[in-house]
Structures are given as structure tokens and as C-alpha cells.
Amino acid sequence: MQKVAAYLLERRDDMEWPEARAAEANRLKTQVESWLRSKGASSIGATGTYRPPDGSAGTFKIQEAVDGERTLWTFDLQEDAPGGRRFLASLSIITGRDTVSVYITLETGWITAQVMPATLDQRCPKIVRDLIQLPGRWFHGASMLNQTKSITGFDAGETLVHDIQYADRSVPIVAISKRYGELALPDLDKTLGYDLVGLANVCVLDEDASWALTDALGRDWCCYHGAVRLYWPRFDLGQDKFQHPLWTAERLRSREGDPKETRELFRRQLRGLLFRASALSVTRPREIDEIREAHNRRGFTELRQQATSLAGFEELADSYAKENDLLRQELTLARNQAEDLQEQMRSLEADNLAFKAHLVAKGAAEDAKAEGEIAPGGDECEVEATEPKSGETRFYKKRHAAPTHDIMKHTNDCGHNQWQPSHKGDKAKKGIAKLEGRSDWQSLHHCGTCTGGGMWKVQW
């Protein structure tokens, strides 16, 4: 079996008291049991069966362990599809000393031993969305998990910049920008938010928020004009920008055919990238094994104390034998998972090299189309951004005011004839120089008629 995804959801708010943690754990168990009934289970016991809608044979097993105030409730689900595929899902609710956590893993493989490929199209389990939608805040490490969030305005964009640069951030940020209020592909925000909840925070940026990212992070790290960018944790401006993939609107629209089909292709590509990363990086909570081991030790101790006859000692020996069998099974499973993780790591390294190759090659779009993927974009966020040529006249308009310079944008001629030589406007000059990366213009004039930020004409 191959591990394909892992989730970790943590409750921390108001979890200082044992009663609060116990109540929260029971609420989560009720949600999981409701999800299981929706899948066709008629009753909930230690073991049972259900009938998934696709005709698979479904079985489940529930186990519990207690260590004082700490508890572990584990739910294992198995579905055997008619085509020979097996899907495993394991969900653990851990009541710790100051948190209540949910750890979920997804695995897949063939029922019988055979050497043949298994196409993966991972999907977010419904139970993850159900849990995220419950009242209260969820965390993964130092990051709070959000549903799709709109980032509106320059100030909100600056707040997002702080989140991107936060050194302890533990989940990716997927930024989806708009151009003239429109997305590059229809309903891209809703579909990516649906797919990636619990693994990444999806943010939808308006044009002002995009300008804030460009102003603070620079053009190499921009996301605007309909582009989509994936910001991994441990982001640093000194990194290779290709480590945080960018898909420009032009790249997303370059594929011929129905835009909705392109959107579905992109969803699958990004979903697979994040699922593979989670399978390698989401750590199994240590308390799962601590609680289980303490629970088993206490059980053995009680059996030894009660073993006053031959029958009692036989029961104790049987218990030890069953525990050893279970440990051997877990050891075998751990070894298989280690091998799977090594293989997935090699796959991720290959994906990383492939992304870089697509980015630097001139034929990236054609190669990606042939492979059924949409390659990340190139060096810029928009194809219109070109270096000024000698003798060229360009027009600029002020969008916002930063502390040290104005934030400018390219625009068309305003049509007025009141151009005045500019002897001041130092912040505007710095803004134009920052936008273009140079300041060797021949002349710079300011429109005496335009208002609302001002218009500038530059002769390069």
C-alpha cells in the first residue's frame, strides 16, 4: 500500500481543562460516526461493514485506548473496489494534555500482489471538510487552517505578505489573483478551496492586494493579473523563485478547449502536488503511540495481578502473544511505509526537476500540454511587462503611496495637453524606477490636469 496523503488538525483554544477536551473529542467522534452512516453503515460498533456508492466492499474497525486524562480513538476504514483496488483511511482523535488533534492518513494499492501501475487521483475526504466547517479554530503547527479567504485591499495584502514570510508557517499558501475582477479560469477559487482545505490556505487577491505583494516581495515573487502562485513554508526572498511555482493567466489559458476542462486538469495537478508533499511531511503525533503503549502496559499489569490460576496465566500468555503479533504487523507496515516514503521522495525530487525544466525551456507550454499538465509560468507575472526601449514614451499612474516611494502602474495616454516638467515628485520617480528597474530616462513630465494620484509621461 502507498501512503498518498496525510492531514493534521489541532484544537487549541480553551483546551486547558480536561472536561473541555473530553467534550470536544466526543463532538468530533459524533461527526465521524455521522460521516460513516452517510457512507452506508447501518450501525456503529467495534467492527462493521458498509456499502459505498461505487459498489465497493467497505469495512471499518474502531479501537480505543486510555492513559489517564489522555485518550485515543482510532477509526480504520477499508474499501475494496471491483477493479481490484484497495483504499485505506485511518482517522485518530487524540485527546492530549492541552490539545485535541485529528490525524488522518490515506493509502491505496492493489488487493493482490501484482506489478502494474496504479493511477492516482487523490481527493479530499468529505470528513475533512466536515471537521473544518465545525465552529472553532483549527491549527496545523503554528498555522491556523482557513477555508478560502478573500484578500481585499492594499492593507490586507500587506498582512498576507507577513503570513507568507512568517518563519514558523507550517502550511502552504495558494494565492489566486484577479484581473479586472475576473479569475483566469471559471470558479478556480471555489474548486481549489474545495480540494485543498486542511492542507493549504487558499487566498483570492484583488488587484490592490496583488500590488501589495509585488511592492513588498518584488517582481520575482509576484502574483497578479490572474496568476496563481504556491508559496511553500520557510519562504525566503533569497531562494530560487522556481521553488514556489507560478502559473500565469496566459499559461493557464494557453491550452485549447473548454476552460472548465483546463481548470479540472489544473486542479488535479495542484492537488497531486500537495497531497504527495503531505504524505512525506505531515508527522504522526507522538501521543498516538504513547497512549496506546501506556494502555497496553496497564492491561498487562492488571492481568498479572489477576493471574492466580493456570487459566489466568494462560490468558496472560495469550494476551502477550496477541500483542506480539500486533507489534510484528505494525513493524512490517512501518517498513513498507518507509519504503513507500522513500519512493515518493524520489518522485517529488523528479517532479521538482521537471518543473525547473519546464520553466526554463521555450517550449514549456507545448510540453506540458502533451503531458496533460499545465506547467508553471516563466520569469514574469505578465507578458506585457517589457523593458523600456530607447526613444520610447510611456505613461504611468500612481496607484498607492508607500513610505519611501509611490506605487506606479503602466497606463495609456490620458489625452490631456497640460504636461509640465517635474522638478519634485521624488516618490513618483522612485516608484517608476522600482517598477522598471532603471532610472535613465531622458525626461519626465507631470500632467497638470489629471487628479486621483497623478499621471506621468516618461521619455526613455
pLDDT digits (tens, 9 = 90+) for 263-311: 999 999 999 999 999 998 998 999 998 998 888 777 656 656 665 555 5
Residues 439, 372 within the same domain = no
123 and 165 share one domain: no
Strand-pair partners of 50: 58
The pLDDT of 134-144, averaged and rounded, is 95
Q: Which of 108, 78, 103 is nearest to 91 (CA)?
A: 103
The CATH number assigned to the domain holding 163 equals 3.40.30.10
Same domain as 267, residue 168: yes
Q: What's residue 116's pLDDT?
A: 64
Between 356 and 169, residue with greater pLDDT: 169
Q: Can you read off the three cell numbers belonging to residue 154?
A: 492594499
Q: What is the CATH number of the domain that holds 30?
A: 3.30.530
How many residues appear in the chain? Answer: 460
- The reply to whether 278 and 397 lie within a common domain is no
The number of C-alpha atoms within 13 Å of 397 and in the hemisphere containing its C-beta is 11
80 and 8 assigned to the same domain? yes
Task: Quote the strand ranges of 326-451, DSSP E.
Answer: 393-401, 406-411, 419-421, 443-447
343-396 pLDDT, tens digit each: 556 555 555 554 554 444 444 444 455 455 677 765 445 434 577 888 889 998
Write down which residue in 98, 114, 140 finishes a domain. 140
Question: Same domain, yes or no, for 65 and 15?
Answer: yes
Residue 331 pLDDT grade (very low, low, confident, very high; cuts 50, 70, 90): low
211: nearest Cα among 172, 165, 158: 158
As a whole number of angstroms, the distance between CA 302 and CA 187 comes to: 59
**133 and 151 within one domain:** no
Q: Which of 140, 158, 178 is the last residue of a domain?
A: 140
Helical segments of 218-360, H only: 249-253, 259-281, 286-306, 310-360
Residues 73 and 52 in one domain: yes
pLDDT tens by residue, 284-295: 999 998 998 888
Residues 282 and 425 in one domain: no
Question: In which order are the strands placed within the sheet that holds 173-177?
Answer: 149-151, 201-205, 173-177, 228-231, 246-247
List the single range of 23-32, 341-350, 391-400 with lowest mean pLDDT.
341-350
Structure confidence at residue 365 (pLDDT): 47
| Residue 125 backbone phi and psi in degrees, to 5 | -65, 145
How many CA atoms lie within 13 Å of 389's alpha carbon, on the beta-carbon side? Answer: 2
Work out how many domains the chain is built from and give that number: 3
What's the confidence (pLDDT) of residue 330? 66
Answer whether residue 219 shows pLDDT above 50: yes
Cα Rg for the chain, rounded, in angstroms? 28
Stretch among 34-43, 69-78, 158-167, 365-374 having the lowest mean pLDDT: 365-374
The verdict on 136 and 147 lying in the same domain is no
Whether residue 318 has pLDDT greater than 70 = no
CA distance linking residue 153 with residue 134, whole number of Å: 28
Q: Which domain holds residue 91?
A: 2-140
Please give the pLDDT value at position 362.
42
What are the grid coordinates assigned to 12, written together?
A: 487549541
Query: Given this model, what pLDDT does residue 431 score?
Result: 86
Paired residues of 57 in beta bridges: 80
Q: Are strands 201-205 and 173-177 parallel, antiparallel or unpaired?
A: parallel
Whether residues 201 and 265 fall in one domain: yes
Q: Decide which of 365, 384, 403 is a domain's last residue.
A: 384
pTM of the model: 0.71
pLDDT band at 326; cut points 50, 70, 90:
low
Q: Are residues 239 and 330 in the same domain?
A: yes
